[in-house]
Structure 1
């Protein structure tokens, strides 16, 4: 196959720190290339440079080998040069263009119109519009004939197997369904290149596999090249011909995807051990908690139905269950975001029990200050540096010297080394990898010194090595700060490794509570398939 993209001696610096160092590789026409590496290796920065977004490289080139039309804006694969332009009938001309060269600014815009990107943690949909309308908006953006948009949108939804949801409101879709609408919207551009940056990071493994299959089918059926980064090693092995192993901004190895994944995973071992702490007195008590919703189409829904449990000081307590089990609603009740319909929930602050079911500064308002919540859709302030994100942007006004000291201590609790903690304080969130941003978000919770920390899908977008780092950060925070954690997760391996006890929910009710290993034995085969990483 002919080369489509050549990445040549590519380097990128942020504030004098080199995050990409002399990157060289080719992408063939129609090839799917995987990028794998631990958090902070440079995967997202590399993908953005290939796509042409954000700031230019410090050194090097991203060269697209294409054919283009001199009479209209159409571009195509270089292998199509000499053929007639499908838009105006003129002959397509072969050319090689450096995407970031100033003299190629006009061609860069044309190339970017025929490329697409799927960002991690962002569905980028019109939430109040129907699914088919979302796809039609994308077709309008590329000036697709208005009289053909409905039919073309329906075809694209067929391609991503979502025809049965075309009239649904986008915000009412599941995460996996939303990501497939995003894919349909990207395919509306008829891209020559799709960059997929952790496209399934927040999805459970079974749903992620469906989206991975969609991506592969879209590449094959459309002759589209693709660059994919993912912490699911299965997607790299199953759909990528070749893979690139990035380490500290350099290519450690490039070659057969299965070989690259094996090379990467051999370092994903956890040799650190932690002593099991003495679980202290009860810190949270829930009795007969219920939460009901009234809907027009389904009547009364019992999202949480008579739930009773307790959590002790320094305990790491897991809440598990498939989508719809009630665990997210329960976590919102625990954190004080919503009120239960019935039942009692009390949190101990000092020696006093606080009633979480009552509003006001003497009740729920007082306790909420001591409950930290790290949601899977966390959001850092993009235009504030990391030090500001950790201190004054959340209302912690320290003298600068004390602020830096407190920030470094907290970043170390969240899994950074001291040198790395100092290095990132002046950086913006956009200059960090997704895994690094997640750990900063955890530090943002820890710096408030909460008594209970509620983690919602804490490992959603993480590679296996970063998961180990996050596990260690949680265990260290418990040991050094006497923190108590409630973990809501579908990652059964993580729950098994970290939780002292767990609670399995099904249809709003508790199935069982107890030692984590024993609770996991109650999972049905279907639940195991949904919530566990598939074994290879």
Structure 2
């Protein structure tokens, strides 16, 4: 079969810094190509260039081999050459298009209309609209006949197995359900190629498996090529026909997905050891915390149901459980984002205990500034440098010399080397990999000098090697600045490696609390299956 895409001698630089180096490969029609590599390897940049996002390559080319209609703007995969255009009945002629060549800008736009992308960590849904309305919006965007939109939208939701949620408001869906709505919206474009950038990075393993299956079926059912970048080795092994291993912007290996994953994981070993933490006095005390919600379809829900626990200074405390167990709601109460229905959440500031459930600048308002929250859906200021993101963008007005010194110290705490810390200060977030942006977001929390840092799914979008870096940054922050961490996670391996104690939640209650290994042993077989391999 003739290739759909030929990538030839492709290189990309940002401010003179090479990000992609002499990339060469071919991709066939209907092929699922996996791109794997550690944070900063160039995965997202390569995918964005293939989709036409951002700025052109520094050198080299991406050639799309297509069948173009002479009468209308439609383009099809190369195997359709010689056939009639499905849009207007015209003749489809073979054409090779240098995608980023300035003279081909009009043809590039035509190709982009027949390709689609699922951006990393961005659901981009109409949150106040129903699920089926979200899909209908996508159909309207491509000019699909209005009288047929409802039926077509229902068909697409069937395809992603979400018919049972079509009347739900989009914002009320789980992460996995939102991702499937995104997929339905992209399939509405009838693309011949879909780019999926870390499509399941923030999902628990069971939900990720469902989305992986949806992507595989979508490719097969629609004869659609797909480019998948992921640190999830499982998705690369399970659905990809071919895989590329990127290392420092260059192709280290290409071929069989299982072989590529094995090569990648070979370097994901952790040899650094840390001393057992010496814990201090209690710094957080939760007493009979309850949070109830009233919903139209399910009545009263106890998201958190009579929870009590303590956290000590310098402790790394884990909160684990499957989706819906109450972890996120509890973390939002700890950080002061929401109030519990009843109970106490006390935090010690200096020698004084403050109840986070009581409003006012001398109560929750005072304590909130000492609790740093890194949410899995964090955002950096896209048009500000990393230095600005760490200092004046969050209200820290330092003289520049002191700002740079503080930023370097904090970036090192977050897992960057001193050399890398200096290099990225003047870069924009878009010039960093997702793993690097995550560590900058962690530094943005640490630079505020909180007493407690709450990490919500801190390893969700990270490759195994970057997870080791983040583990080290947390351990070093505990050792060097006496930081206390509360880690909310599905990732059992990460929790086992890093947490002194853990609390297991089920249906809003803490059912087991104690040393991490003991709590993990208390998991049911079903919970183990749901949470297993979350680092894969």
TM-score, normalised by the number of residues in structure 2: 0.99
Q: Distance in 1 between matches of 2:324 and 2:32?
A: 35
The answer to whether residue 424 in structure 2 is matched with residue 444 in structure 1 is no
Segment drifting more, 142-151 vs 440-449: 142-151
Aligned to 1:474: 474
Output one character per residue of 1:411-446: Cα deviation in whole Å (capped at 9) or x when no partner. 010001111111110010111111000000000000
Query: How far 1:296 moved relative to its partner?
Result: 3.0
Aligned to 2:509: 509
Query: How far 1:294 moved relative to its partner?
Result: 2.4
Aligned to 1:401: 401
Aligned to 1:134: 134
Aligned to 1:152: 152
Aligned to 1:37: 37
Query: How far 1:299 moved relative to its partner?
Result: 2.7
**What is the total number of aligned residue pairs between the two structures?**
536
Query: How far 1:293 moved relative to its partner?
Result: 2.0
Moved over 4 A (4+): none
Match of 1:480, SS state, is helix
Paired residues of 2:232 and 2:535 also in contact (CA < 8 A): no
Segment drifting more, 112-121 vs 525-534: 525-534
Q: Distance in 1 between matches of 2:85 and 2:299?
A: 56
Aligned to 1:114: 114
Query: How far 1:535 moved relative to its partner?
Result: 9.9
Query: How far 1:159 moved relative to its partner?
Result: 1.0
Aligned to 1:427: 427
Task: Mark the CA change 1:506 to 1:252 in structure 2 (over 3 Å): closer, same or farther.
Answer: same
Aligned to 1:197: 197
1:336-415 paired onto structure 2 within 5 Å = 336-415=336-415
Output one character per residue of 1:185-224: Cα deviation in whole Å (capped at 9) or x when no partner. 1011110110000011110011101101111111111111
Aligned to 2:264: 264
TM-score, normalised by the number of residues in structure 1: 0.99
The answer to whether residue 323 in structure 2 is matched with residue 323 in structure 1 is yes
1:210-229 paired onto structure 2 within 5 Å = 210-229=210-229
Aligned to 1:9: 9
Match of 1:106, SS state, is helix
The answer to whether residue 79 in structure 2 is matched with residue 68 in structure 1 is no
Query: How far 1:287 moved relative to its partner?
Result: 1.1
Q: Distance in 2 between matches of 1:289 and 1:170?
A: 29
Q: RMSD of the alignment, in Å?
A: 1.1
Segment drifting more, 291-300 vs 173-182: 291-300
Output one character per residue of 1:451-503: Cα deviation in whole Å (capped at 9) or x when no partner. 10000000111111111111011001101110000001111111111100000
Q: Distance in 1 between matches of 2:144 and 2:297?
A: 36
Output one character per residue of 1:217-255: Cα deviation in whole Å (capped at 9) or x when no partner. 111111111110111101101111111100111111111
Match of 1:110, SS state, is helix
Q: Distance in 2 between matches of 1:22 and 1:312?
A: 51
Output one character per residue of 1:342-393: Cα deviation in whole Å (capped at 9) or x when no partner. 1222111111111222111111111111110000000100000000000000
Q: Distance in 2 between matches of 1:297 and 1:220?
A: 36
The answer to whether residue 168 in structure 2 is matched with residue 168 in structure 1 is yes
Query: How far 1:133 moved relative to its partner?
Result: 1.2
Query: How far 1:173 moved relative to its partner?
Result: 1.2
Segment drifting more, 111-120 vs 171-180: 171-180
Task: Mark the CA change 1:434 to 1:535 in structure 2 (over 3 Å): closer, same or farther.
Answer: closer
Match of 1:153, SS state, is helix
Aligned to 1:96: 96
Match of 1:533, SS state, is coil
Q: Distance in 2 between matches of 1:248 and 1:482?
A: 34
Aligned to 2:288: 288
The answer to whether residue 484 in structure 2 is matched with residue 484 in structure 1 is yes
Aligned to 2:87: 87
Paired residues of 2:204 and 2:323 also in contact (CA < 8 A): no
Query: How far 1:534 moved relative to its partner?
Result: 6.9
Query: How far 1:399 moved relative to its partner?
Result: 0.8
Match of 1:129, SS state, is coil
Q: Distance in 1 between matches of 2:324 and 2:386?
A: 35
Match of 2:415, SS state, is coil
